[in-house]
């Protein structure tokens, strides 16, 4: 199987962590930020992640890909799910974006490996989020808005090895968001959440992104 992805993409990390938990090999191909043609050729539109299965068929939706990989053999993500965690993951997304998306092009990641790729990213984000430098300057305000949500999810952590005590789709919802937020150098996770993040990242044998 071949995964076309951005290194910074939390939806892509959903797939990558699931493959690691299921001990399935993925050939990871990082697409340049400005290489829309490659994505359209594979999937018919600009999108990542794209999983090209062994039968040549592409899959696009991250949770569909997660389910596909998890059910190739004995499923791993069989633990309980809580609707409040799915709701948390949905509601926190707009608060995460100004903090993380303003930092991604500063991390030296391969999807931003050319001046054209970085310029393309800045232009795309300017149309949806605004000026990235201004977002960076407002880090303190965005962190203040985010902390109640982190304290909320901190109270939900049942085990450092699985948010609900047994691995489930809720871990696929939460861990990638935390990986994205860890790029914010000033951010400190609450204690139980930090233990969960560090333990789970070790479990899936993944390194955090650089922090800036």
Q: What is the pLDDT of residues 47-65, one digit of tens each?
A: 999 999 999 999 999 999 9
In-domain check, residue 212: no
Q: What is the CATH number of the domain that holds 48?
A: 3.40.30.10
CA dihedral (181, 185, 188, 192) in degrees, to 10, reads: 50
Q: Positive or negative CA dihedral for 167, 173, 176, 181?
A: negative
- Which H helix or E strand runs over 27? strand 27-30
Residue ranges making up the domain that contains 63:
2-70
In-domain check, residue 19: yes
Number of domains in the chain: 2
In-domain check, residue 50: yes
Same domain membership, residue 88 and residue 62? no
Q: What is the pLDDT of residue 195?
A: 98
Global confidence as pTM? 0.97
Last residue of a domain, one of 12, 46, 70: 70
Same domain membership, residue 195 and residue 99? yes
- What is the per-residue DSSP string for 114-147? SHHHHHHHHHHHHHHT--HHHHHHTHHHHHHHHH
Q: What is the pLDDT of residue 3?
A: 98
CA distance 109 to 209: 9
CA distance 103 to 185: 10
Same domain membership, residue 138 and residue 107? yes
Write the pLDDT tens digit of every residue in 93-124.
999 999 999 999 999 999 999 999 999 999 99
Same domain membership, residue 59 and residue 10? yes
In-domain check, residue 104: yes
Q: Give the residue among 3, 2, 6 at the shortest CA–CA distance from 120.
A: 6
Q: What is the CATH number of the domain that holds 95?
A: 1.20.1050.10
Same domain membership, residue 116 and residue 87? yes
Same domain membership, residue 91 and residue 185? yes
The percent of residues in the chain predicted with pLDDT above 70, rounded, is 100
Same domain membership, residue 119 and residue 57? no
Give the residues of the chain that fall short of pLDDT 50.
Answer: none
Long-range contacts formed by 23-26: CB under 8 A, 24+ apart: 24/69, 24/72, 25/1, 26/1, 26/2, 26/51
Give me 167's structure tokens.
Answer: 């691995």
Same domain membership, residue 106 and residue 23? no
Instruction: Enumerate the H helices of the chain as residue ranges.
Output: 10-22, 36-43, 62-70, 83-100, 115-128, 132-137, 139-156, 169-181, 191-203
Same domain membership, residue 114 and residue 62? no
Same domain membership, residue 43 and residue 141? no
């Amino acid at each position: 199987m071949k995964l076309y992805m951005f290194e910074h993409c939390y939806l892509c990390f959903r797939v990558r962590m699931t493959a690691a938990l299921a001990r399935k090999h993925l050939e990871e191909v990082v697409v340049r930020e400005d290489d829309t043609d490659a994505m359209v050729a594979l999937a018919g539109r600009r999108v990542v992640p794209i999983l090209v299965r062994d039968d040549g068929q592409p899959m696009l939706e991250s949770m569909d890909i997660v389910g596909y990989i998890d059910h190739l053999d004995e499923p791993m993500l069989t633990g309980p799910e809580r609707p409040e965690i799915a709701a948390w993951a949905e509601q926190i997304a707009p608060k995460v974006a100004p903090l993380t998306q303003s930092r991604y092009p500063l991390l030296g990641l391969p999807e931003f490996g050319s001046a054209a790729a970085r310029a393309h990213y800045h232009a795309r984000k300017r149309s949806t989020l605004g000026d990235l430098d201004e977002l960076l300057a407002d880090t303190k305000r965005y962190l203040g808005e985010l902390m109640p949500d982190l304290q909320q999810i901190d109270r939900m952590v049942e085990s450092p090895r699985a948010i609900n005590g047994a691995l489930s789709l809720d871990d696929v919802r939460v861990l990638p968001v935390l990986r994205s937020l860890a790029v914010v150098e000033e951010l400190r996770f609450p204690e139980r959440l930090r233990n969960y993040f560090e333990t789970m990242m070790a479990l899936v044998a993944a390194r955090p992104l650089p922090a800036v």
